[in-house]
Amino acid sequence: MAHSEIQPDCVPRHVAIIMDGNGRWAVSRGLERNAGHREGIESVREIIRACRDHGIEILTLYAFSIENWNRPRGEVSELMRLLEEYLETEIDEVMEHGARVRVIGRVDRLPPSTRRAVERAIARTSENTGMQLVFALSYGGRTEIVDAVRRLCRDAEQGKIDPEGLDEKGFEAYLYAPDLPDPDLLIRTGAEQRVSNFLLWQLAYSELHLSERMWPEFRRPEFEAAILDYQRRERRFGLTSEQIREDEDASEGAGTDGISSRRGQS
Ligand code: FPP
């Protein structure tokens, strides 16, 4: 059931989440850290359902950062195992949602079995036209930008692009998923207040919602509170409030929603 106070015509189109706090959640209960990651999967499941219910088009989850490779070997292998298990066992429900799985990051660094599970999930859901479920795996925002620059330089060397004519749109075409609109809303759980190398380019104008909850305890009510928080924001994109209101009045006259017309723009 959708939350009654949420305005259905003004939900964020793209929500990105830094799922932090699994380890602390577990340790504070006398459990090993991996128990927090396992419980975190329950939250993943619940938040995907909530996104479907609210008509959110894209959900991007920071599941494993490029820096996470430096964690203790046992934790890394358990995270890989959990990812594989998730991709194998949850895919039926993902299919029922009509959702399409995508991945951003240096997937070439994943162990072969994890890579195969990722490829199978992508292939199996590739024809789905519902929400897009994007897993950031072995992902780093700076790495993404460097990877983009490397490919861009190659194209410039081969005369495919003229660096003098390069603009933001032209650069974005080299990012991992250039067709996706920027996140409207970034949620970070785990009581920390930083971006942690996530979507550095794409978060330029995203609204931030920082939650004190650890990820395993971030469930539908907390997610819906984040959506309500988002709906109270005025997104100005560098303009003044007056300009935004004029723009909304003009769009209303033209029969479109001023806020949503600004959604997903940088
Ligand atoms: C951060 O918590 C979380 C991670 C590094 C991994 C997130 C993984 C999951 C939620 C489970 C698997 C994911 C999917 C999509 C199936 P932390 O360990 O940094 O917590 P801490 O800050 O309390 O130590």
Confidence of residue 24 (pLDDT cuts 50, 70, 90): very high
Question: Is a pLDDT exceeding 60 seen at residue 265?
Answer: no
Q: Is 21 in the pocket of ligand 1 (CB under 6 A)?
A: yes
**Gap from CA of 37 to ligand 1 centroid (Å):** 5
Question: Is a pLDDT exceeding 80 seen at residue 28?
Answer: yes
Ligand 1, atom nearest to 90 Cα: 16
Q: Looking at residue 89, which CATH number applies to its domain?
A: 3.40.1180.10
- Residues 51, 173, single domain; the answer is yes
pLDDT, average across residues 102-120? 97
Question: In this predicted model, what pLDDT tens digit does every residue of 44-83 receive, in sequence order?
Answer: 999 999 999 999 999 999 999 999 999 999 999 999 999 9
- Residues 134, 200, single domain; the answer is yes
**Gap from CA of 104 to ligand 1 centroid (Å):** 17
**Gap from CA of 63 to ligand 1 centroid (Å):** 6
| From 20, 25, 44, 48, mutation site for ligand 1 pocket: most ligand atoms within 8 A of C-beta | 20
Mean pLDDT, the chain, rounded, equals: 93
Nearest CA to ligand 1 atom 13: 63
Ligand 1, atom nearest to 33 Cα: 18
C-alpha angle 151-66-180 in degrees, rounded to nearest 5: 55
Instruction: Name, in order, each residue with C-beta under 8 angstroms of 85's C-beta and a sequence gap of 6 or more.
Output: none
Residue 27 in any domain: the answer is yes
Question: Is a pLDDT exceeding 80 seen at residue 266?
Answer: no
- Residues 102, 135, single domain; the answer is yes
pLDDT at 75: 95
- Residues 71, 141, single domain; the answer is yes
Question: In this predicted model, what pLDDT tens digit does every residue of 144-183 receive, in sequence order?
Answer: 999 999 999 999 999 999 999 999 999 999 999 999 999 9
- Residues 161, 88, single domain; the answer is yes
Q: What are phi and psi of 200, to 5 degrees?
A: -55, -40
In the chain, the percentage of residues whose pLDDT exceeds 90 is: 86
Residue 110 in any domain: the answer is yes
- Residues 146, 38, single domain; the answer is yes
- Residues 54, 29, single domain; the answer is yes
Ligand 1, atom nearest to 79 Cα: 12
Question: Is a pLDDT exceeding 70 seen at residue 208?
Answer: yes
Confidence of residue 2 (pLDDT cuts 50, 70, 90): low
**Gap from CA of 19 to ligand 1 centroid (Å):** 6
Nearest CA to ligand 1 atom 18: 23
Q: Is 110 in the pocket of ligand 1 (CB under 6 A)?
A: no
Q: Is 104 in the pocket of ligand 1 (CB under 6 A)?
A: no
Model's pTM, two decimal places?
0.92
pLDDT at 27: 98
Instruction: Name, in order, each residue with C-beta under 8 angstroms of 136's C-beta and a sequence gap of 6 or more.
Output: 60, 61, 62, 63, 64, 65, 103, 104, 105, 198, 199
Ligand 1, atom nearest to 86 Cα: 16
Q: Is 103 in the pocket of ligand 1 (CB under 6 A)?
A: no
Of residues 236 and 116, more confidently modeled? 116
pLDDT at 1: 54
- Residues 136, 69, single domain; the answer is yes
Question: Is a pLDDT exceeding 60 seen at residue 91?
Answer: yes
Residue 264: domain span: 237-266
Number of domains observed in the structure of the chain: 2
Confidence of residue 254 (pLDDT cuts 50, 70, 90): low
- Residues 196, 260, single domain; the answer is no
Question: In this predicted model, what pLDDT tens digit does every residue of 209-221 receive, in sequence order?
Answer: 999 999 999 999 9
- Residues 199, 251, single domain; the answer is no
Confidence of residue 256 (pLDDT cuts 50, 70, 90): very low
- Residues 31, 157, single domain; the answer is yes
Question: Is a pLDDT exceeding 80 seen at residue 193?
Answer: yes
Known catalytic residues are: 20, 68
Residue 3 in any domain: the answer is no
- Residues 110, 207, single domain; the answer is yes
pLDDT, average across residues 81-98? 96
Residue 138 in any domain: the answer is yes
Distance CA 155, CA 266 (A): 25
- Per the listing, tokens 């070997």 go with 73
